[in-house]
Amino acid sequence: MSDDFDTVGLGYCSTTEWNLEAVASAIDKAWADAAADQEANAPYVGFSIIQNEKDWVETYLLSNGEFDAPPGDSYYNWGWQHDADDGVGTPHPNIPLPVVAAFENWASNGRAVKLRKSFSA
Contacts (Cβ under 8 Å, ≥6 apart) of 1: 8, 9, 34, 35, 38
Residue 92 structural domain: 44-118
- Which tens digits make up the pLDDT trace of 52-106? 888 888 888 887 777 777 776 677 778 888 875 666 678 888 888 888 888 888 7
Contacts (Cβ under 8 Å, ≥6 apart) of 36: 9, 11
User: Across-strand partners of 91?
Assistant: none
Do 69 and 104 belong to one domain? yes
**Residue 1 pLDDT:** 36
- Which tens digits make up the pLDDT trace of 17-46? 989 999 999 999 999 999 888 877 777 777
**Residue 9 pLDDT:** 84
Do 33 and 87 belong to one domain? no
Do 12 and 58 belong to one domain? no
10, 37 Cβ separation under 8 angstroms: yes
Domains held by the chain: number: 2
CA distance 79 to 81: 6
Do 62 and 107 belong to one domain? yes
